[in-house]
Amino acid sequence: MKELSVRKLAPGAAIAIDGRLDEPAWQAAAATGPFVNVGTGREDRSLPTQGEARLLWDDGFLYVGFDVRDTTITGGFPEGARDPHLWERDTVEVMIDPDGDGDNKDYYEIQINPQNLVFDSQFDDYNAPRGGPSGPFGHEAWSAGLASAVALRGTLDDGSDEDVGYVVEAKIPWSSFAKAKAAPPSPGDAWRMNFYAMQDNGGAAWSPILGEGNFHRARRFGRVRFVAAEGDAGGVGAPARDAGPAPATAPSASAGPKPGDRAEPPDR
């Protein structure tokens, strides 16, 4: 079982949602390390998409930063699309089970793609409700109410060049998790989460599923434990350092498109 202790932001620290992850708080944040093969649990450099994630929190928000390595960055959805099937191309994904018991009751799914489109949905049980092969997937009316930004290291939907990847940065208000027993969490609380870098309905994960279902299998999510800030000074989040030129950044979004269950193993 993967575990990660996530330090609370120091008092007065702030995170700008701009897709850059350049604040000192991000540099000191808890990191998943490289994602692994969903089926084997081993790092697999042959996968077409690689990634890792960083986490922070405060009393208002959960902060998530993804760094994805992908040589063919693909969007392809209409601008402003609501809950498009992002998993069919390139996207990152967060699965969140606030109770931390892995029983697949009352969990959440959030995806953000290189266009900064969003899919977010809430589920009552494992992949349920589900409206059929084309959805709806879960309660798609639910909104994470998040703010996000994407920075591209390459050219979107251009097969003539080789891309490097993209960065996704998001802050998700605790108030969105109405099914949670307590939100925001208190220091010492643990939620189950998983993080994926996806392409064409497959991808790499923080915590592998190991053939026990699809990407929704909550008992295979890792355990994220929330830790108190170290204090007003020297904690996670001193004043921001000067940064160099930013890569191309997609506009920030407050809410947007969402997914649910797809195919069963080996991927989704």
The CATH number linked to 148 is 2.60.40.1190
Beta bridge partner(s), residue 48: none
Pairing mode of beta strands 222-227, 3-7: parallel
Structural domain contains residue 31: yes
Residue 64: count other Cβ atoms within 10 Å of its Cβ.
25
Please compute the mean of the pLDDT values over residues 100-128 and round it to a whole number.
Answer: 98
| pLDDT surpassing 50 at residue 255 | no
- The answer, yes or no, to whether residue 101 has pLDDT greater than 80, is yes
- Residue 233, pLDDT > 70, answer no
Say which residue the tokens 């999510």 belong to: 221
pLDDT at 13 over 70: yes
β-sheet with 165-173: strand ranges across: 30-31, 49-57, 61-70, 165-173, 147-153, 248-253
Residue 149 lies in a domain: yes
In a domain, 81, yes or no: no
Answer whether residue 92 shows pLDDT above 80.
yes
Q: What is the largest CA-CA distance in the chain?
A: 52
Q: Which domain holds residue 223?
A: 3-73+86-253
Question: How sure is the predictor about 1, in pLDDT bands with cuts at 50, 70 and 90?
Answer: confident
Domain assignment present for 205: yes
User: What local confidence, expressed as pLDDT, does residue 250 receive?
Assistant: 53
Tell me the average pLDDT across 36-48. 96
Note the pLDDT of residue 107: 98
Helical (H) or strand (E) element with 27: helix 24-27
pLDDT category at 99 given cuts 50, 70, 90 is very high
241 within domain boundaries: yes
Would 259 be classed as within a structural domain? Answer: no
Per residue in 184-205, pLDDT (tens digit) is 999 999 999 999 999 999 999 9
Q: Is the pLDDT of residue 143 over 70?
A: yes
pLDDT, the chain, mean: 89
Encoded tokens for 139: 């309660």
Mean pLDDT of 34-61: 97
Note whether residue 264 is domain-resident.
Answer: no
Q: What is the mean pLDDT of the segment spanning 32-42?
A: 97
Residue 247 has pLDDT above 50, yes or no: no
> Does the structure show a pLDDT above 70 at 38?
yes
Q: Quick one: average pLDDT of 9-38?
A: 97
The fraction of the chain above a pLDDT of 70, given in percent, is 86
Number of domains within the chain:
1
Q: How do strand 30-31 and strand 49-57 relate by DSSP bridges?
A: antiparallel
Residue 156 lies in a domain: yes
